[in-house]
Structure 1
Amino acid sequence: MADTRAPRPSTDEESAPLLQNVSHPDDGPASQHEEPTFFDRLAAVVQEPLSPLTKLLLVATLLFLLLSSIFIGLFAGAQHKINSGSGRGQTTVTATTTATATTTAQVTTTAVSTTTVLIPAPGPTGPPVEPVCISPSCISVASSVLASLDESQDPCENFYDFANGGWLKANPIPSDKGSFGHFEEIALQNRRLLQQILSEDASSHFSAASALASDPYDEVLLKKLRGLYDSCMDEDHLDDLGEAPLRDMAKKIRELFRGKTTVVDAERTAAEKERDRLTATVAYLHSRGVSALFDYSIDGDAGNDPNFMSLWLSQADLGLPSKEYYEEESVVELYRSVLERLLLTLDDEDDSMDVTPEQEPGLVVHEERLRVWPPWPWPPWGDDDDGGEKPENRSQRAKKLSTAIIEFEKKIANASLDLDVLYQDPLATYNPVPFQNVSDSLPGFDFSTYFSAFAPRSFPSTVILTSTTYLSDLSRILNDTDKATLEAYFVTRAGLELAPYLGLDTEAWKAVRSLQEVLSGIKKGAVGDRAEYCIARTESALGFALGRYFVREAFGGASRETATKVITDVIETFKKSLRNLDWMDKESAAGAARKADALRVKVGYPLSPNTEDPRSIANWYARVKINPDTFFENMVSARVADQIRTWLQLGKQRDPEAWEMYASTVNAYYNPPANEIVFPAGILRPPYFHADWPGYMNYGSFGHIASHELTHAFDSAGRLYNQDGKLEEWWTNKTSEGFKVRQKCIVDQFSNYTIDDGKGGEIHVNGNLTSGENIGDSGLIQAYRAWKAQYNDEKEFLLPGLNYTREQMFFISFARSWAQNIKPAAAVARVRTDPHSPNRFRVHGTVSNIPEFAAAFNCSTKAKLNPPQEKRCIFW
């Protein structure tokens, strides 16, 4: 970081000759040659004829003096405004600020030089000029901030647009996306870096890949990475394959459900055979990461031993994002048509029928093939009526089944927990039961066989249920559902999940894409860059391997050390703030401090698998088989390997070095049972972090991310886990009651925010669903205090061209993190399903609860973002 306070050579050089009396060597003693007066020399000059060069220099001198006077006046006026405290709002934040601030840096040299020339003796001086950072990183971030701002907005009324308006205008949403913000922007930059790593052409001059490729394990990893990426990029081959890979999977599902490939005892009853078929089908789908009927995870037993990895059973994912969508007729009809198209496309029968697309204009059938489906008589195992009826029209049957699937999913949705309970109430969703209770709740499913298909050596004696009623409700729903609907449901579950791995010209891909377009607001038919998509798929399948090379290219120098210091500063500040909370007594405060001390802090990249050891990563992905010609199978292979790794954790102790994100991920998280906060290298990049930035920039952006994750340990859900990650009420009743008052405050605050649904209506934010994340965002005050405690004016330079105080820049840095353009459809989906509030409200709701923000911008007492103290939701 350059020190602009250092003397400038030009100043010293100009001062010397003007302050000395130098005689000419030929003049003799000074007493004999009296020095001509200024007026004598001026008269001599006037009498001399002016040469063209002299005239030019004279004009240039006059122009220079005129400009210097103007610039000095502008600088003095700007400095006066700063010193008088009018540094906020529309009165000083104008469109001319950039020009004024920029010229200030230029005037400083001129003003000092001129002052030195004209004033030979010291005299009264004005306020010292603030030092300005002119390092490349400071100039870069200053330019970025200037481009982000919309200074026509009053920061006290609309801080989000003030900090982000310029960026929002310059970054419209790409047609193939439903939203685009800084998170997506940095993820895209990271993936471009990953693309260079994966490119064979670039490997010769790309250091991470070329330097490591000689290691045999790195060679294996790079071969898998590039093989998967290349198979995704080969669109011609994908189109040649068509739906064949997915149709083969659909055929396998049917065979399992019909008992054709299931080994069963001939002596078993019909009910037992049906149970075997159902179990085999669900196990097959789950082994490929496809949610059906119910879902599972392997995590610590939070109520007993948080480090003992146990089986959790929960509700299944739905075909639509949330319950609310099943009440929208237009969305339901679109979804029904997508299911119908999948059923028609994934049919494996060859008998054609007399129905043509012309007879049903709304029906699109791949290659216009129309076949009888399903085979007749139905069902093929002969449990029901053996027939006598004529085969049903194929398209009519697909339409009927698609309608039946939606009715089936509606019942599952009604039996499922609301998301605010699922995400925000860890006590209600922790229900350990003996294995026998699980079997009794769903007698039509063989859990013993199901478990043995995944983990035969770690059979669980206890299962943790997120809902005590879901499995029994599911049992009732299954009893009321015919077999044809169930089979169609399983086929379409696979289609919805895996069709995106097919070629873009396939009917299955187009069907699923049409649903995504509507739910996310994507422009119809808009498809993004194929390389970007393939990088994302490679990252999802082999992310730890890809992270090894990403870290070596993008996470060096002092990044890890600087980021870790920000985090530890925030933690220390949080512990100090506990002493001053009027709602938290000493006993609870001491426990909170112990939990903060016990936090595992992970920065940069995982050590399990070990990013620094290619053998560790190669062993991690040993089960992933990559064939350069089969992208669909490659992705399925990666999914199967992931499920196997998951189940192998069952019954073991938690791996303290394990991560839930990859090093290249633009995100961070807090894991309650592990009591850890994790920050991948992918997010430790501008505009969130740079090791050379002034502290107010790093603490405002990355410091908020750090404080957000820390605060999750004490939010509505996190506070219910103790320092060891165990579920228990470790706060006193008095402290819990004080917290609940503040929690209600923030729930009510955010529930009053609304978004435009794109149809002329408004949808309220779910304050209950988002309360944990909103409380996490309230931790911004800890980042502010941590910055204030660590830095002062003498230690931090201002950024060039920005006429803002350090305090103002802190909050600007925070708000810039959440810049995002989003389409109404995507915004609706987020409000219904995401525990995070819309980004605008993450900014406005947070700063309105922090008095330091209003003080920094001198907000009036009537300003929107400066509410009365009694209306603020203040936790810390």
Structure 2
Amino acid sequence: MIKAMDETVDPCDDFHEYACGRYLKENVIPEDKTSIGRFVTLDDEVRLKLRASLEEDVGPNDIKATIKAKDMYAACVNETLIENRRMTPMRDYINSLGGWPILGNVSWSTWKENEFDWQSLAAQTRRLSIFALMSPIVDIDSKNSSVFILKLEHAYQLGMPGSNSREYLLNGRNDTFVKAYEEWMVSFVMLMKETDDKTIEAKVRKDVGDVIDFDMEIANITISKEERRDRERFYNKWTIEFLQKNITEVDWLRYFNKVFEGVNVTIKKDLEINVAVPQYIRNLIALVNRTPKHVVANYLLWIAMTDAGGLHLSVGIDFKEIKYRYNEVLFGSTLDKPRWELCTVFTADYLIKLPSSRLYLANNFNRESKKVALDMVHELKLSFAEMVKELDWMDDATKKVALDKLEAMRMIIGFEDFILEDAERLNKEYEELKINRGQMFESVVEGMYYLANNGLKKIGQLVTDENSGLSQALPPHQVNAAYDPSLNQMIFASGILQGLFFNKDFPKALNFGAIGVVIGHEMTHGFDDEGRLYDKDGNLFQWWSENVIKDFKKRAQCFINQYGNFTIPEINMNLNGINTQGENIADNGGLKQALSAYRNWAKRQDGRENGLPGLALSNEQLFFLSFAQIWCGKERPEQLIKRVRTLRHPNGRFRAFGTLQNCPDFSEAFNCKKGDKMNPENKCKLW
């Protein structure tokens, strides 16, 4: 802790600099990374351990599912074989989707305009886990959380790769990042055509421009992140028959049945679905119908090749190099990540999550730590309950329902036991996934089908612990935690229950300041501007009185204003206070909860807890230092721009700075005077 600090800084002037100043001065962002920080360091350690597990020879302790993970990793790192096969598998893949018109008259291309049907191709690509144009997904019913429902959403993927590319595209063709996207697509097509002829390139550039214009038009009709926070607005339960009468240009029964072709489900006209964005669907169909067929086909095939699973890892080095040039502009990193790391991320974080976690957990988790962490969660729950009871802006009736929701909140600490103890269940979950060590490209395509089928087959099923998907969404090896409002459930992955975040032998002040705040953060998500819309059973339901809602929104606006006025000096841009409000509410609530829980624990010990040698700080000061130091880190300007434009979390500096500004107990602990930067007169408070 001492090595990270700059004790020459006044903690009442800038506590983040006081806590992290030396760390920031002495650490440089590696060329292959967009940031450094405590999360990144721990993530790197976990990936090295995962790599070691994935590279081990298959042994007697392996099960079928873990063998598939090892096979996938082995296929991915075999660059020699991938290079030898070059474009052959990609050509077969393109033709299986009907061909790619942008390639023109290359001998192997099969596209025929008179046979093109965008609805069929959109359904076919959806079966490959591609969410272009529109996204039919199977999800927990927001108003009946006991069952899975079909939901029709807007495009989750645009032609510019990344789930957050909308805000870049809205800036137009002259945006630096959009220009990089254009150059990448032109280079990709020229490689596929195997020519550097300038006349051909000019034609390709025109076709690419049409695709990007189409992409920008789609971005323009998608729903902004600010609007998406109103969950009630995006719940519209229609039968497919009603959908057909209201939006007639698509044969919906044919479309949905093609989507579900791989899971032997027949969709009928009386099926109720959630048409989340009817106006977007109308606008999309109008756009597609006025766009030339070849442009739509070029768009869908581009996404199917470049933003689908691990296909970018399945082609030759020349394709990798042009993708890297795009990434360099978008993310600022000047060196690509090593192959082993890319393959570890693809295998363990995307395709074969739980078997990879099983390999990791076998050697890297202490069950005693799981028990200590569980005890902390119970302490945090008690402190949050006390906070609710003391609120002066919430009436008694709403408090009772809030406390009922808190009591019903479930949790996964570290991992679900079946991952280590039920080989049969794990093997069954992955039995349909076919992996071939000698065929990386085909294995990735199989994986895309597998992931799509795994989600689609849940339609109409009752929601259970086995199929809810929470451990799949956040596998145990990841350095993260989450809250799912539809399940009213928290998960704290094993990956985050270590390092500076948590150690069962650390002083409690440090554990409560780090992982304790993380636990409180996730718990508070159940009561932030989005989580509060769900009841204790995970249903979208208005359980707040109108006066309480009014007071909540007024207090939430304080956070929007506070964080929206923070300027990131490296890029001279302000944080988005609206998009980050849920995280900021959770950070502030989590800190207050964790401090209260620590104080309750300390009282039971009669104050008997040793401090840290070499630091003349009280235990409560250590608590705040531990909290601030989990946010030690820095990011490249490109990553900061992405954060402001598209992400839900502020950067680490303002997560520490803003939260501590609002905390009177912090100012008291460090004797900060009213009017000091860390102790402003006006503070935001919700929970």
TM-score (norm 2): 0.91
Instruction: Determine which of 318, 325, 343 is the counterpart of 2:168.
Output: 325
| Distance in 2 of aligned mates of 1:232 and 1:769 | 36
| Distance in 2 of aligned mates of 1:338 and 1:447 | 35
Task: Report the counterpart of residue 312 of structure 2 in structure 1.
Answer: 500
CA contact (8 A) 1:291 1:493 kept: no
Task: Report the counterpart of residue 669 of structure 2 in structure 1.
Answer: 856
CA contact (8 A) 2:167 2:646 kept: no
* Residue 210 of structure 2 corresponds to residue 404 of structure 1: yes
| Distance in 2 of aligned mates of 1:632 and 1:161 | 47
CA contact (8 A) 1:307 1:674 kept: no
The code of the aligned residue for 1:661 comes to: L
| Distance in 2 of aligned mates of 1:842 and 1:804 | 22
Secondary structure of residue in 2 paired with 1:872: coil
Task: Report the counterpart of residue 293 of structure 1 in structure 2.
Answer: 133
- Mapping of residues 301-700 of structure 1, within 5 Å: 301-303=141-143, 305-316=144-155, 317-320=157-160, 321-326=164-169, 327=171, 329=174, 330-347=176-193, 356-357=196-197, 360=198, 394-422=200-228, 424-440=229-245, 443-453=248-258, 454=260, 455-457=263-265, 459=267, 461-498=271-308, 499-503=311-315, 505-507=317-319, 509-523=320-334, 526-539=335-348, 540-606=350-416, 610-657=419-466, 658=468, 659=470, 660-700=473-513
* Residue 118 of structure 2 corresponds to residue 278 of structure 1: yes
CA contact (8 A) 2:66 2:358 kept: no
Instruction: Determine which of 230, 233, 237 is the counterpart of 2:74.
Output: 230
Q: How many residues align?
A: 655
Larger Rg: 1
Deviation at residue 875 of structure 1 after TM alignment:
1.0
After superposition, what is the alpha-carbon deviation per residue over 1:147-185, rounded to whole angstroms, capped at 9, x for unaligned? 211212222121112112222233321111212222121
| Distance in 2 of aligned mates of 1:161 and 1:504 | 45
The code of the aligned residue for 1:617 comes to: L
- Mapping of residues 685-834 of structure 1, within 5 Å: 685-756=498-569, 758=571, 762-779=572-589, 780-792=591-603, 794-834=607-647
Deviation at residue 256 of structure 1 after TM alignment:
9.6
| Distance in 2 of aligned mates of 1:197 and 1:837 | 34
The code of the aligned residue for 1:820 comes to: G
| Distance in 2 of aligned mates of 1:502 and 1:165 | 42
Deviation at residue 504 of structure 1 after TM alignment:
5.7
Secondary structure of residue in 2 paired with 1:818: coil
Task: Report the counterpart of residue 42 of structure 2 in structure 1.
Answer: 186
The code of the aligned residue for 2:525 comes to: H
The code of the aligned residue for 1:339 comes to: M
After superposition, what is the alpha-carbon deviation per residue over 1:22-69, rounded to whole angstroms, capped at 9, x for unaligned? xxxxxxxxxxxxxxxxxxxxxxxxxxxxxxxxxxxxxxxxxxxxxxxx
Deviation at residue 558 of structure 1 after TM alignment:
1.4
The code of the aligned residue for 2:139 comes to: D
Secondary structure of residue in 2 paired with 1:678: strand
CA contact (8 A) 1:441 1:475 kept: no
| Distance in 1 of aligned mates of 2:222 and 2:548 | 32
| Distance in 1 of aligned mates of 2:71 and 2:167 | 41
After superposition, what is the alpha-carbon deviation per residue over 1:453-508, rounded to whole angstroms, capped at 9, x for unaligned? 3244363712213323110000110111001111111121123214521356223x
Deviation at residue 756 of structure 1 after TM alignment:
4.3
CA contact (8 A) 1:310 1:464 kept: yes
Mark the CA change 1:256 to 1:648 in structure 2 (over 3 Å): closer, same or farther: farther
**Structure 1 residues 462-471 or 692-701, which shifts more?**
462-471
Secondary structure of residue in 1 paired with 2:10: coil
CA contact (8 A) 2:101 2:298 kept: no
* Residue 96 of structure 2 corresponds to residue 252 of structure 1: yes
5+ long unaligned stretches in structure 2? 103-112
CA contact (8 A) 1:442 1:474 kept: no
CA contact (8 A) 2:100 2:301 kept: no
| Distance in 1 of aligned mates of 2:632 and 2:570 | 20
Deviation at residue 444 of structure 1 after TM alignment:
4.2
* Residue 19 of structure 2 corresponds to residue 163 of structure 1: yes
After superposition, what is the alpha-carbon deviation per residue over 1:612-659, rounded to whole angstroms, capped at 9, x for unaligned? 211211111111111112222222222211111101111011122442
CA contact (8 A) 2:559 2:581 kept: yes
Deviation at residue 245 of structure 1 after TM alignment:
2.5
CA contact (8 A) 2:415 2:494 kept: yes
5+ long unaligned stretches in structure 1? 1-144, 204-212, 259-269, 361-392
| Cα RMSD, aligned residues only | 2.2
CA contact (8 A) 1:243 1:506 kept: no
Deviation at residue 699 of structure 1 after TM alignment:
0.7
Secondary structure of residue in 2 paired with 1:596: helix
After superposition, what is the alpha-carbon deviation per residue over 1:568-623, rounded to whole angstroms, capped at 9, x for unaligned? 1111111111121111111111111000000011111135x644211211111111
TM-score (norm 1): 0.72
Task: Report the counterpart of residue 68 of structure 1 in structure 2.
Answer: none
Task: Report the counterpart of residue 174 of structure 1 in structure 2.
Answer: 30
| Distance in 1 of aligned mates of 2:54 and 2:401 | 48
CA contact (8 A) 1:443 1:475 kept: no
CA contact (8 A) 2:87 2:316 kept: no
| Distance in 1 of aligned mates of 2:280 and 2:424 | 43
Task: Report the counterpart of residue 10 of structure 2 in structure 1.
Answer: 154
The code of the aligned residue for 1:787 comes to: Y
Deviation at residue 712 of structure 1 after TM alignment:
0.5
Deviation at residue 774 of structure 1 after TM alignment:
0.8
Task: Report the counterpart of residue 363 of structure 1 in structure 2.
Answer: none
Secondary structure of residue in 2 paired with 1:704: helix
After superposition, what is the alpha-carbon deviation per residue over 1:64-114, rounded to whole angstroms, capped at 9, x for unaligned? xxxxxxxxxxxxxxxxxxxxxxxxxxxxxxxxxxxxxxxxxxxxxxxxxxx
The code of the aligned residue for 1:157 comes to: D
| Distance in 2 of aligned mates of 1:725 and 1:680 | 21
Secondary structure of residue in 2 paired with 1:279: helix
Deviation at residue 255 of structure 1 after TM alignment:
4.3
Secondary structure of residue in 2 paired with 1:346: helix
The code of the aligned residue for 1:333 comes to: K
Secondary structure of residue in 2 paired with 1:603: strand
The code of the aligned residue for 1:791 comes to: A
CA contact (8 A) 1:257 1:281 kept: no
